[in-house]
Structure formats: C-alpha cells, structure tokens
Amino acid sequence: MRARDILFAVMVGLAGWQTVVYLTDAPHFILPSPWRVAQAAYNSRLVIAQNAWVTAVEVLLGLVLGAVLGFAAAIQLALSKTAERLILPILVFTQAVPVFALAPLLTLWFGYGMGSKIVMTVLIIFFPITSAFHDGLTRIDHGYRDLCVSMGARKYYVMRHVLIPNALPSLGSGLKLAAVYAPIGAVIGEWVGASKGLGYLMLLANGRAKIDLMFASLIVLACLTVALHLVVGRLADRMSQYASGSSS
Amino acid sequence: MTSPPGITFVGTHRIGGAILFAANLHLPAGQWTCLLGRSGVGKSTILRLILGLETGGEFTGSITTTDKSTLTDRISYMAQSDLLLPWLSVRDNVCIGARLRGEAPNLNRADHLLTQVGLAGVAGMKPGMLSGGMRQRAALARTLFEDRPIVLLDEPFSALDAGTRADMQELAVKVLTGRTVLLVTHDPAEATRLAHQIVIMSAQDARMWPVPDTPPIRAISDPLSMDCQTRLLSHLRMETA
C-alpha cells in the first residue's frame, strides 16, 4: 500500500462522507460533517492524544505478547504430535467463544487498568498467529524432511535452521492479520470497563452527545490501526524476502 | 571417510497388501550401481528403504552390509530437486548437515569442496542467484561434505539440460570415486556412461544388465556404450508396452 493510494482512499472517503451529510441534511449530533469532526479533533487534541497513547500501548503490548505466545505455541504444536492432537482442537474450540462475551469476565479478573485490555488483545490475536505459523511449520517440501533424516539431523536444529525460516512468510501473514485484530481487542476491553483509552473516549463522547468527538476518536483509532498494519506489513515483507533468499 | 561397504537388499515391498516389487539386489562396495525401470515400479522406494525413510508401505526382508555394520550415519543422499535452503548462502547450504546435527561446521572444508565442484566464486551467494547446473553442483558439494561411504542418488541430473547433465555426470564420477553409489535413473545413456553395474527393476525381480567391459565414465561416442544403450532402451520400451 503506497502513500499515494492511501491519500486517494482518504480523499474519496471524505468526499463521500461530505456528500452524504449534504444530501441527508442530517443534524450534527447524528452525522457531523468532516469539517466539524476536524474542529473537534483539534479542540480536543490533548484528550485524544492522551487516550490514543493508552490504547496504542495496550495494542502494542498485546500484539508483542500475543505474537510471542503464538510463536511459542505453534513451535510446540509442530514439535509434538501429541500436543498437536490434543491442543489444536481445544484452540479451535476457544475461537467459538466470542471475545466480547469474555470481556466482562476479564475486566473482573484483571481490573479496569491496562491488564484486562492487553489480555483481551492477546486472546484475539493468539489464534491467527498460532494457526498461520503452525501451518507454515508443518507445510514443508517432503524432500527437505528426507534430507534432514539422511543427515542425522536433530529435531531442535531442524526447527531452528529449516522449519522456522521456511515458515516466516506464514508467520508474517498471521502478524498482518493480528495487526488488524489487535486494536479491536483493546477497544472491546475499553468499552466494557475502563477510564482511559480511545474506546472509553468514544463511549464518553457518545453518552454526552458529542458525536463529532466520537468520530474524531474513531478516526484516530483507524489511523492507529492502519499505521500498525503498515509497519507490521513491512516486517512481514522483510520476513518473506529473507525466506525466499531475496533479502540483501 | 570409512571404507565403503557393499549392500545386499533382499525383500518384498507391499502397499495395502499388494506387492509393489520383490527384489534381490547387491550393490558392490565402492562401485556405481544404476537402477532403471518403468515409473512407479519402486526404484525410489528401494532407495528410501536403504535410507530408512517412510515409504507408505510395508517391507519384509533384509538390508545388510558386507562389513556387517549398520547403515546408520553412513549414507548421504541427493535428490532430483537440489533442496538448497533459499535463505542460506551456498557455503552455509553445503555445511547445513553439521548445523542440523548441532555440530560446528568446518567452513574451510565447505570452501574446499565448493572449489572442487567449480563454485569457489559463489560461496557467499544465495541459491536463487545460481543456474540449475550450479545449484546441483552445490547440492553435490553438500553431499560430499557429509563424507559418507554410501551415496544414494535419486535422478539428480534429470532436470538439467543435456550439456550440463554430461558435465555433472563427469564431476559426480570424479568426486564420488571409491564410494558405494546407487543411482536411480530413467536415462539408459546415463546408466551406460556411469555404471559398474546396471540393474533393471520390474515388479517381479531386479535383473542385472550386461555393461561394456570398459570402466566408467564411458565416452558417449564409444561404440560398445552406444550398443548397450540402444539395447537397454529397446528393452525398457518393450517392458513399458
């Protein structure tokens, strides 16, 4: 995704938004115009920045922790057939429970602070990372496995020198998905119970009929997500380049 | 390298109860044996059984060596695909076996072997930057790095163009001299050039085919080789028909 494409998409979005406001003549407490939202964003820039920082920290910590746990879990699953047989179905089953439903419980257990939001983020991204990376670790040309056996290779070193590098593109795909999901986890947590963060600010603004501030918070959250997606996307590209041998 | 043993393979391989092949095969110590036969007859399966790899079937029989020792850690393997790891340099690919066993690789030896196969100038490059022939040379250097007395080759030159293939055959004979080599191939010309012994495999048995009296590597233009190759091709065509 290039900067020019992003700018073009933003311009189209703003134009469409302004057109809807103009055509429907909606009151500003229902659908504020882009200009009004921009004004609200400027006037409340400090509040938005403080809350955006909290959400960003929750998202980043959740992403890093979730990625580390997903990485470790996928390796463990790939190393042990028993673990794969027993744990993989459980992992799939946990995905059937909506994270939204767990949010109140997590808030109860981990409190109103950042902890519950980070746990929520970890929960929401753990599966995509584990699943994608595990898929990459187990999907390898049989020829490589045969070669490793003929060389008397040890399991740990095969994992380190062959399977992990080979699975980096899959891990990158999982991380890209996680970068999009992570803010969702943090914001759900903030909606359920928080005193800081963009999710909290959006609820607060909504309750006080400050829809322009709510929109401004939403846009900042979207920008945060896009920025994270771009950074992680760049990292995933580097990982793919390394695995294909085309990195410098 | 320890002295190469001869290998005797006697047995039957079944898939789902049905016999794929029954073979009685002896690979002489320190010599090249070329194994031919129609596709699906089980040539690569014999190679996999000797290597101790999964075959998806059931083998009843025995694989023994002339020195009565086990085959463990005495075989190196080279496949049709070069199986170079794209993220590693050519040098690191050559010594990957040591790393996979948790040993410190001898990089000087890797460089020496790369020089031996004519790849001294590309040791630091990634495999993606090499031609097909160069990649197979690198795979050959990796096979040599293992320094095993038995070498199993599963159609390693079949994807190369004719010129490169002839070069690779000559190089392989030169660097693998003195080892017990089993080459699975579909190419009668290749078998005639390289083999001390040619074996034609069918579902019923594994039969010896007479080779010219001259030692390998035989010239392509040698009349005896050409005659052997022609008769071999006719025989294989009859078997397929």
Chain B residues inside the 8 Å CB shell of A165: 85, 87
CATH number of the structural domain spanning residue A171? 1.10.3720.10
- pLDDT given at position B241: 66
- The verdict on a CB contact (< 8 Å) between B85 and A154 is no
| One-letter amino acid for residue A116 of the chain | S
Instruction: Flag whether A45 is in a domain.
Output: no
- By CB atoms closer than 10 A (0-12, 13-18, 19+), residue B34 is buried
The residues of B whose Cβ lies within 8 A of any Cβ of A are 48, 51-53, 72-73, 75-77, 79, 81, 83, 85-88, 96-97, 99-102, 126-128, 146, 152
Residue of A nearest to B76 (CA): A150
Instruction: Flag whether A11 is in a domain.
Output: no
Instruction: Flag whether A223 is in a domain.
Output: yes
- pLDDT given at position A74: 94
- pLDDT given at position A176: 95
Q: Is the dihedral of CA A97, A103, A107, A108 positive or negative?
A: negative
- pLDDT given at position A134: 94
Instruction: Flag whether A123 is in a domain.
Output: yes
Instruction: Flag whether A57 is in a domain.
Output: yes
- The two tokens of residue B127 are 């495999």
Chain A residues inside the 8 Å CB shell of B143: none
pLDDT tens by residue, chain A, 248 residues: 677 888 898 899 999 999 998 998 888 888 888 899 998 989 989 999 999 999 999 999 999 999 999 999 999 999 988 888 888 888 888 777 887 888 888 888 998 888 889 999 999 999 999 999 999 999 999 999 999 999 999 999 999 999 999 999 999 999 999 999 999 989 988 888 888 899 999 999 988 888 999 999 999 999 999 999 999 999 999 999 999 998 76
Q: Is A159 on the interface with B (CB under 8 A)?
A: no
Angstrom distance (rounded) from CA B37 to CA B39: 7
Within chain B, which residues score under 70 in pLDDT?
A: 1, 240-241
Instruction: Flag whether A27 is in a domain.
Output: no
CA angle at A229 for the pair A186 and A105, rounded to the nearest 5°:
15
- The verdict on a CB contact (< 8 Å) between A153 and B101 is yes
Residue of A nearest to B90 (CA): A245
Instruction: Flag whether A183 is in a domain.
Output: yes
- pLDDT given at position A1: 62
Q: How far apart, in Å, are the Cα atoms of A245 and each of A101, A136, A203, A238, A240? A: 44, 17, 48, 10, 9
- pLDDT given at position A86: 85
- pLDDT given at position B142: 95
Does a cis peptide bond (omega within 30 degrees of 0) precede residue A140?
no
User: Containing domain of residue A210, as a range?
Assistant: 32-39+50-244
CA distance B183 to chain A (A): 16
Q: How many domains does chain A have?
A: 1
ipTM exceeding 0.85, yes/no:
yes
- The two tokens of residue A87 are 């744990």
Instruction: Flag whether A8 is in a domain.
Output: no
- pLDDT given at position A248: 60
Residue of A nearest to B84 (CA): A144
- pLDDT given at position B171: 86
Helices (DSSP H) in A111-210: which residue ranges? 114-138, 142-150, 155-158, 164-192, 198-207
